[in-house]
Structure 1
């Protein structure tokens, strides 16, 4: 059989002439300006915001002149995540985190917008006059010199209107981005290779056989929306996404989202709007209506069509809406036959989700592909479009994209909710610079089992590795594994774990400093500590007692500063007051009613040598915590002790405040877990209030973690300090509190949008991955749900399950205390077990 098809070169049929001053000029003198569009993130847009986006598109399109074409082209290409493994800088856990996501597939999204100025004759051309079907191309000249200038002026107005909406950002593409350079492919080159890779694209043969179109090994299938009959009876700006909605909340997506990120295959979704002369369209409709009326007695269908035409005209005249032509198509591709069949079926089913009639178009694929070339919208065949109004046409635009990484150098790694790949998220510095938040404080709320400890471990680990000083107050051994890992890797210099045990009780020395110097802050903290030991919460000291205590502390500090051989501790202070300071008081003739020194010593005796708590303030370890970067205070064993708990919490606060004031330009974080008994005292409440209000001035942040909001509001001072001074709120799965979430919403001041996002947490988790979702809200204006997914190694370090912790500890003991090696082996063992269970026999 003889091959009757002719092979042509791309150069002969190429429809573009040049790119000048950032404008694409076709060989028919059509002008096109190309933009890259940045859309809002998926699952973060409400119904009202979708309507605002829709309104901004309409306002912008209306400024374009007649015979303009708006082509919005959304690229969705399958890619694999490439981990960032910096061998020298990254820690063991950071590397394991990156390797965990290695080669994970995801759908990359790029959105381009082409605004084309064509002519009346070109806009009416059909597919039989396409540049593919013509033997020669004759460039024509633009007769009116002002045409280009007016069009470019309208384009600038278009860009300004869209960018001012605050939801969509347009960035005009330059010449190099359109044509490409020697090192990087341009937009046109990427289109002809159907690839978004930044490496040099290889142009392959294009096969335009009837019913089959191929670009290299990629076989294309095309589904079109080119007839009003294929559309549902009603279109909207957005729709309810049932998988992430509940009876009490809505998750909204754009009307065209099913053929956007929800269609998990390589595809391009193209949306065209053709702006013709509105008066001509209406006149044409009037003529059609009269013809149908005259023929209505011969056919019932003519009468129905006449009625539809009249309704269209009535709508146009009464509401003043703009009549336009519209077309949408989904061009998907695959390489092997089995995948191609699946892609074709998936595309059809996603169109059916939009209540559209899936129309698999095999004949017009080459022509529509050719019209999709950037700058070649003037070649679009007119018969593939249908008449509608601008409002309805814009409803077919996709309006969301993937989660974006923050440009900030500092941040944490969370996983994308849709595809599960890591994204870089700054919830501290960049929001402060942009004025979204006024402080870095965080409030974390999540019931038991919601993944709180995993998220907080993940958070503080990354803060520590980026140079922050982290101080943790815990009551459940949640950070024991991470602290020991840091302790081992720093050879004992960091990762300080302080807890109370019978054979190794918690011990401090408030009188010890590395420098031997005592500044005002240190003196005041020692006075506050002794005052707490001396007086009950409901007992206020007299002025004379405060003066006497201040004199005793200052005199003792002078003595130990002058006598370098004297080891400072609480025992020494007690003996100094008992002997030296007593003589000083007698010399000054201080009356007993002004300062009862015997009563003072009697109250402090339990903390002196031989007393019940003589271990507490007489540590001989000479440990100054100011320069230790990772410290955990575990208070579980003393949470019910009315004597130890207030003292220990006071020392904790003094430690952090010392860091706050002394460490200039260094990030500091204090994270307080479920230790509300310690926060209920008057002294601690005042400390917390002071801390949350002033920590931002010292490049610090305070974080509180709790299971119940009621724990916080039971103390009015703490409620005011924590909730009102935490601009970053983090909530985990709240399904346990579904029936009383309105109470939580009111307490935290959450909007309806934020409520909908929070109640969608863990509603549609991927069955093949283990993770927990978390909602992060910043300043009441920016919020989204992210996934906390960690590697097997991180899981074993962060886990709070007793059996798993014992397994890690036992193996580490067998390996001479090498915790990291034990975790590596257990993680590898778990991965092998998972592979065996997932591999079919």
Structure 2
């Protein structure tokens, strides 16, 4: 066995670059790619052209090596103590398998006197690492200038981020493996260094990991057509073509540990063309003896014509997949998976055996110049870049500021910051949110989940609902739930002031607005003298309470103050009935005084601290048509939220109107909705409107003009049933064709939702919930009754949910070691074996 130190091709790491034993210089970038399933066909073409422009600036005798490393990992969770539902979700997702992805771009400048390697000549066979030449002092700065241009061109596309690796990240430290160790010993990024045996003769094996190498290194094995994108049939419809990257099947859609290597060799273009001219002449002279020579002559001639006429850059290219497993029984399965993935783009996989060790050796970071060039093929840069992987896993924001969803592939939890990060980046200008979906599409589940997360993050949540969708969550977090029942009618107390608060101008104005609503009809005007009389009455009432501390502030004591003390005040000031008719005023307000028809409405003795309560739900289903109760209740809701908005500085406030917006708008509260969506962002407020009917969005001026125009965040459910009348919805919401394509790929059976942030970030997430979350949020009638009964039986909502969740798991046979029943990755790989179910269509 040869000690690796004796033949290792990397001489040193210096100035954050790799220097090979031959004097080759390599600069390494870690790359951030766009999230898979988020790009349109135009985005792929833009990305493709950016790579072409960037690679063109590299000097001759350069090598572009893109390395995409995919390793299976298990989701470990945050490890921090959280709320009941958040902890239950962490246990649910713990151990969930997903394919981790790390991408690097390695730019190598070969030494000027470097001999081309082949299968017969390789640095692997050298006995000494003494370099043949010393590097030129001017060479390194000149190469860095070119790599800087390369980096700027790609970064300016807005689709990719590059970060140059430091010396420690390349070579590693005592505690953390660097890029060199990670490659040589198959270690994950950031793992501790571990030395493993490497076998290259009989087999490709690193430690207990067995590798299989599949190459695209011969023009005969390549697809007849290639492009920047390819149709993905699984998410396409008869009206939309869903795009993924041309080689996505060799990336995240290949469900095994593997590395996808992409090499593009930039040689001397003029020398290459001169060599092809000589080859064409030889074939011309031999064409009379063989039809194959004539065909090869014509192909060479076409290649030369295209190179000259369209200013193409001729390059050599090679692409390979190295798949790893520690289970010998999976070797055939992996072989089938890789072969199928290559067949999806029209290519033929060639499994390397004898040359596998040499190709693996040349893949050592900084050793690309050792690649055996007889395993590469001639092509143009435009075609070579079609085989670059352009996508990565879903990015995730910090858990403390994001909403937990899951990616579409594996169901791995990811966090999406819908409110703060987009505004900081200039993607959105407000935090208004519109949620739209059909009945049963998952709207309420999604909004419940968002509200629970925001509540856990410290927000105050006020929800106006029709249908009781938030009762379980409200009870679970100990919030106030207001609803109308014959046995327990809805009750408020707008006259109550929590300890430490006084009657300020805003509170006085809201109480006056309430009294006017109770007193006058919409077509009756309030004259100046009546306004002054109401102001004086409220001021006098609270002075009266300060003097009579035994009195409880409520409508009853206010009415008694008006009837007794304030009547005398008006007489003393000789106020005429024409200026303020106290008799009429008391008569109209009499139904709200004790013994009256609505004496319960404004005299509540419980749930009084609405300003301090962080979760409040007002359920209006029973009173939405009531001419008296509904206007009063909506006015109280408005006053409550405005009070929170102005007094709770630095705290997020969330106003959610679920289906009730139609009733609110019809009762003259349209102005409040407009005001909320336009203004509360200035007070760290988040207005949310939830609607079900498509026609509501299209026909309502309130929704269209006030809400949609000020809702930079749109969350939508499965809209495929509206596919053939989607144009009106698209026009109303201002959705782009890209958004339309992504939205129509949503499948409610997979619990998917579409999120559009500012018209710039469009992504589909899964809203997967654990059993506890589902039981807390469910709106299905029978399940809701079971949850309420369990809460009564076990003493609390939390204990009831715990018991039902345990019962559900026991019934379904669920074990603590959780993983998806059938992941999308497994489904795709199974389907790819059948041409009729192939998720990929013909290349673009």
Match of 2:53 among 59, 62, 66: 59
- The residue aligned with 2:626 is 641
1:299-340 deviation line (CA, Å, top 9, x unaligned): 000000000000000001100111111110011111222211
Alignment of 1:415-564 (within 5 A): 415-487=406-478, 495-515=479-499, 517-564=502-549
1:274 equivalent in alignment to 2:265:
yes
1:125-165 deviation line (CA, Å, top 9, x unaligned): 21211011233344122474422221121111111111111
* Preserved contact between residue 698 and residue 728 of structure 2 (Cα < 8 Å): no
* Preserved contact between residue 225 and residue 231 of structure 1 (Cα < 8 Å): yes
* Preserved contact between residue 212 and residue 324 of structure 2 (Cα < 8 Å): yes
Q: Which has the higher contact order (CA 8 A, sep 6+)?
A: 2
- The residue aligned with 2:163 is 171
1:184 equivalent in alignment to 2:181:
no
- The residue aligned with 1:252 is 243
| TM-score with structure 2 setting the length | 0.94
Q: CA RMSD in A?
A: 2.0
List gaps (5 residues or longer) in structure 2. Answer: 822-844
- The residue aligned with 2:220 is 229
1:835 equivalent in alignment to 2:813:
yes
Match of 1:741 among 726, 736, 739: 726
- The residue aligned with 1:665 is 650
Matches of 2:387 and 2:200, distance apart in 1: 28
* Preserved contact between residue 509 and residue 619 of structure 1 (Cα < 8 Å): yes
Report how far residue 552 of structure 1 moved. Answer: 2.9
Match of 1:346 among 328, 334, 337: 337
- The residue aligned with 1:597 is 582
Instruction: Provide closer, same or farther for how the CA distance between residues 370 and 420 of structure 1 changes in structure 2, counting only shifts above 3 A.
Output: same
1:799 equivalent in alignment to 2:784:
no
What SS class does the counterpart of residue 680 from structure 1 fall into?
helix
| TM-score with structure 1 setting the length | 0.94
- The residue aligned with 1:732 is 717
Match of 1:685 among 652, 666, 670: 670
Matches of 1:830 and 1:622, distance apart in 2: 34
- The residue aligned with 1:289 is 280
* Preserved contact between residue 270 and residue 329 of structure 1 (Cα < 8 Å): yes
List gaps (5 residues or longer) in structure 1. Answer: 1-6, 488-494, 766-770
Matches of 2:300 and 2:797, distance apart in 1: 77
* Preserved contact between residue 447 and residue 736 of structure 1 (Cα < 8 Å): no
Report how far residue 742 of structure 1 moved. Answer: 1.4
- The residue aligned with 1:492 is none
- The residue aligned with 1:411 is 402
- The residue aligned with 2:195 is 203
What SS class does the counterpart of residue 623 from structure 1 fall into?
coil
Instruction: Provide closer, same or farther for how the CA distance between residues 41 and 190 of structure 1 changes in structure 2, counting only shifts above 3 A.
Output: same
Report how far residue 575 of structure 1 moved. Answer: 3.1
Instruction: Provide closer, same or farther for how the CA distance between residues 565 and 587 of structure 1 changes in structure 2, counting only shifts above 3 A.
Output: same
- The residue aligned with 1:124 is 116
1:721-743 deviation line (CA, Å, top 9, x unaligned): 22221111111111232222211
Report how far residue 716 of structure 1 moved. Answer: 3.0
- The residue aligned with 2:760 is 781
1:818 equivalent in alignment to 2:802:
no
Report how far residue 551 of structure 1 moved. Answer: 3.3
Matches of 2:792 and 2:549, distance apart in 1: 42
* Preserved contact between residue 697 and residue 729 of structure 2 (Cα < 8 Å): no
* Preserved contact between residue 175 and residue 193 of structure 2 (Cα < 8 Å): no
Report how far residue 361 of structure 1 moved. Answer: 1.7
Matches of 2:757 and 2:586, distance apart in 1: 51
- The residue aligned with 2:828 is none
Matches of 2:572 and 2:632, distance apart in 1: 32
Report how far residue 683 of structure 1 moved. Answer: 4.2
Report how far residue 79 of structure 1 moved. Answer: 0.8
Report how far residue 712 of structure 1 moved. Answer: 5.5
Aligned residue pair count:
817
Q: Single out whichever of 496-505 and 261-270 deviates more from structure 2.
A: 496-505
- The residue aligned with 1:48 is 42
1:420-458 deviation line (CA, Å, top 9, x unaligned): 111121111111222211122211111110111111111
* Preserved contact between residue 123 and residue 378 of structure 1 (Cα < 8 Å): no
- The residue aligned with 2:609 is 624
* Preserved contact between residue 460 and residue 470 of structure 1 (Cα < 8 Å): yes
Report how far residue 279 of structure 1 moved. Answer: 0.4
Match of 2:21 among 4, 27, 33: 27
Match of 1:336 among 297, 311, 327: 327
Matches of 2:546 and 2:729, distance apart in 1: 53
1:772 equivalent in alignment to 2:751:
yes
Matches of 1:434 and 1:471, distance apart in 2: 28
* Poorly superposed stretches of 4+, deviation over 6 Å: 836-839
* Preserved contact between residue 67 and residue 123 of structure 1 (Cα < 8 Å): no
Q: Single out whichever of 803-812 and 379-388 deviates more from structure 2.
A: 803-812
What SS class does the counterpart of residue 261 from structure 2 fall into?
strand
Matches of 1:460 and 1:621, distance apart in 2: 24
Q: Single out whichever of 674-683 and 342-351 deviates more from structure 2.
A: 674-683
- The residue aligned with 1:565 is 550
- The residue aligned with 2:153 is 161
Report how far residue 407 of structure 1 moved. Answer: 4.2
